């Protein structure tokens, strides 16, 4: 069974200061002195959760994309996190999935945080991105998406011609890891921690949440509470309030054993997202 190593960067961010954030994150990424496969940064890692996209948006040919490409190549690891992107006259809170070979994928945040006015400044995405790495499938989402279980819900292939036994059906889940990058406030950290566990349990997958720490420019506190949760809801990593770079290697066998021993997915409801 394959393994997959993540490096999670929980950090404070400089408010609306791209240069300072990229310099700080360069130091943190450069300090990673062991092989890793996926480096995860928080939501809007160049600016913090700003509602001024007209000032800070870049294109997909902009300097932050170039920065991600350089560091991904340097570390021979995927780098992911969300930034503000302008495309077709609209602004997106876009998670970029940068590969060491310079190729990339992206996911535009589906659920915009109207409570902070995000829906007035940004356009919503309508497609999920499930990335594939070493035979693993990773569902990539952003912050507020965590509150909406239908968007995260594992869908199962029930085609008898494709599936002959339990072990093959286990392998035909949509994804093995669900990953959230966030700027989730301290005052609602109980919901953050609870929902990360819920997403892991209900989808029988690993759940990873990478959040920021510190005060933002609106004096909103962030406690981090970055977590890794196993497929039975067990917390494998949790860090609150402090900056941290955490490395964890996940084992595919754990997911397959859980889904085989506890085949709750057999009783799940079929549905379609329109």
Residues involved in catalysis: 43, 109, 143
CB 247 within 8 A of CB 36: yes
CB 51 within 8 A of CB 93: no
Structure-token match 């406030």, residue found = 185
Q: CB atoms < 10 A from the CB of 94, how many?
A: 23
Which structure tokens are listed for 92? 């997106």
> Residue 40 and residue 62: Cα distance in Å, rounded?
20
Angle between helices 18-30 and 63-75 (to 10 degrees): 0
Nearest residue to 137 via CA among 171, 180, 165: 171
């Amino acid at each position: 069974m394959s393994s997959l190593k993540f490096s999670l960067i929980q950090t404070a961010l400089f408010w609306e200061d791209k240069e300072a954030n990229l310099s700080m994150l360069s130091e943190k990424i450069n300090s990673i002195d062991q092989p890793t496969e996926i480096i995860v940064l928080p939501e809007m890692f160049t600016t913090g959760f700003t509602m001024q996209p007209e000032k800070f948006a870049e294109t997909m040919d902009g300097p932050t994309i170039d920065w991600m490409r350089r560091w991904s190549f340097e570390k021979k690891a995927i780098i992911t996190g969300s930034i503000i992107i302008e495309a077709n006259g609209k602004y997106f809170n876009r998670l970029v999935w940068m590969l060491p070979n310079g190729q990339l994928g992206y996911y535009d945040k589906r659920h915009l945080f109207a409570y902070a006015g995000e829906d007035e400044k940004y356009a919503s995405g309508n497609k999920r991105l499930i990335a594939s790495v070493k035979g693993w499938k990773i569902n990539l989402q952003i912050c507020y998406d965590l509150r909406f279980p239908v968007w995260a819900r594992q869908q199962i292939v029930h085609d008898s011609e494709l599936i002959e036994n339990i072990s093959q059906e286990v392998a035909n889940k949509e994804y093995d890891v669900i990953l959230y990058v966030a700027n989730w406030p301290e005052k609602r950290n109980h919901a953050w921690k609870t929902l990360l566990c819920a997403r892991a349990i209900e989808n029988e997958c690993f759940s990873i949440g990478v959040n920021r720490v510190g005060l933002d420019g609106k004096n909103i506190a962030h406690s981090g509470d970055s977590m890794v949760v196993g497929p039975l809801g067990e917390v494998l990593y949790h860090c609150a309030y402090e900056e941290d770079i955490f490395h964890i290697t996940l084992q595919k066998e754990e997911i397959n054993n859980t889904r085989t021993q506890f085949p709750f997915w057999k009783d799940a409801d079929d549905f379609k997202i329109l």
